[in-house]
Amino acid sequence: MNVPSMNWSYPTAIKFGPGRISELAEHARSVGMARPLLVTDKALAVLPITVAALDILEAAGLGRAVFSEVDPNPNEINMEAGLAVYRAGNHDGVICFGGGSALDLGKMIALMVGQTRPVWDFEDVGDWWTRVDASKVASIIAVPTTAGTGSEVGRAGVLTNSVTHVKKIIFHPKLLPAITICDPELTVGMPRFITAGTGMDALAHCLEAYCSPFYHPMSQGIALEGMRLVLENLPRVYADGTDIEARAHMMSAAAMGAVAFQKGLGAIHALSHPVGAVYGTHHGTTNAVVMPMVLDFNRGMIEERLVRASDYLGISGGFDGFRDQIMTLRETLAIPANLSAMGVEQSRLDMLSAMAIEDPSCGGNPVPMTLENTRALFQACL
């Protein structure tokens, strides 16, 4: 089939389809931007897709301001540098352009530009989000160039504390971008390992949301279809990065995963977050590494649910068939076999386990996570 051009209003205004980046300036104007700051990462800043986006803005009289000092696991130092650029340029909105790191940091800049409290006061804990002066949050447009995190349709961003190396989820309803442009042509140039890692991140979001014990039937349905899209299309885009139809389906799956995980995440993310913060590993790839071990860990609580999912997904063999499918996919994508292959050391398991059970994701795991069973799970992942 040809990839359609669609306008969706769930969960925000989404402009979906090949070539839709050409509408960037008009959408920026529609949310009141006259001097937007485009936030991206260092590698992306010099690539043709970013230059083209800046050309579109400049041709429309909106300038071509860009901030790209974004680390793979962005922290408050990156954020403060971005805020300095935003204020110096008297900007009036943020265009988040790139993968999860750029999207998350762009959202943090938009959130913090008018606040007087430190960013850590707005962590996703209880009603801490009500501490934000919502009238001071800048307008946000999101343009994903990967298909993984789904931050383009999320109301939060992940920020790593540079001192403690702990990842914190910062939440506010106004972090949901006003407009998201999902143009699958922007993902065509992704390196294969990024295609693999971000795709497995989307799968992890859908899988953990589907297995979460909380009640949210809408997220449940979205998660199930998101898993189907990843399993059918991730091998296609890994084999042929120019397959625009499969790229489009992966963009949909990424957004679906982020919508679905309102239902909850679990041990995959609880383990991945501290490993990424301490070792600087790619988040989605780390998720893929620990995924089979977490399935084993949760088996007693999720087996019946995954049997039902397998029926829908066309996988025979129930839970074991589903797990085999994950192992085959990992092998196809050249995912490292275990955490040891990613450099994780036995000597740091106590510290990582303590960080994991403090991670907000662990609260959605089907099996309650304790220090003891989490350390055993980390051991299995080595």
With bands split at pLDDT 50, 70 and 90, how would you rate the model's confidence at 2? confident
Q: What pLDDT does 1 receive? A: 64
In 3-state terms, what secondary structure has residue 170? strand
Residues 6+ apart with CB under 8 A from 102: 39, 40, 41, 44, 70, 96
Is it true that the peptide bond before 11 is cis, omega within 30 degrees of 0?
Answer: yes
What is the arithmetic mean of pLDDT over 291-301? 98
Q: What is the pLDDT of residues 225-235, one digit of tens each?
A: 999 999 999 99
Share of the chain above pLDDT 90, in %: 93
User: Residue 8 pLDDT more than 80?
Assistant: no
Q: Looking at the DSSP assignment, which residues form a beta bridge with residue 75?
A: 160
Q: What is the pLDDT of residues 125-153, one digit of tens each?
A: 999 999 999 999 999 999 999 999 899 99
User: Residue 9 pLDDT more than 90?
Assistant: no
Q: What pLDDT does 308 receive? A: 97
CB contact burial 156-182 (16+ within 10 A = b; e otherwise): bbbbbebeebbbbbbbbebbbbbbbbb
Domains delineated in the chain:
6-186 (3.40.50.1970), 190-381 (1.20.1090.10)
Give the phi and the psi of residue 185 in degrees, each rounded to 5. -65, -25
Q: Are strands 140-144 and 94-98 parallel, antiparallel or unpaired?
A: parallel
The whole-angstrom separation of Cα 346 and Cα 274 is 14
The whole-angstrom separation of Cα 341 and Cα 343 is 5
In 3-state terms, what secondary structure has residue 366? coil
Q: Are strands 65-67 and 94-98 parallel, antiparallel or unpaired?
A: unpaired
Q: Chain-wide mean pLDDT for the chain? A: 96
Q: What pLDDT does 10 receive? A: 79
Q: What pLDDT does 6 receive? A: 84
Q: Do 335 and 288 touch, CB atoms closer than 8 A?
A: yes
Q: What is the pLDDT of residues 88-103, one digit of tens each?
A: 999 999 999 999 999 9
Q: What is the pLDDT of residues 42-67, one digit of tens each?
A: 999 999 999 999 999 999 999 999 99
What is the arithmetic mean of pLDDT over 76-84? 98
Instruction: Give the pTM.
Output: 0.94
Of 376, 351, 230, 371, nearest to 294 (Cα)?
Answer: 376
The whole-angstrom separation of Cα 125 and Cα 260 is 19
Q: What pLDDT does 7 receive? A: 83
- Other C-beta atoms closer than 10 Å to the C-beta of 331 total 10
Q: What pLDDT does 73 receive? A: 86
Q: What is the pLDDT of residues 172-200, one digit of tens each?
A: 999 999 999 999 999 999 999 999 999 99
- Other C-beta atoms closer than 10 Å to the C-beta of 256 total 26
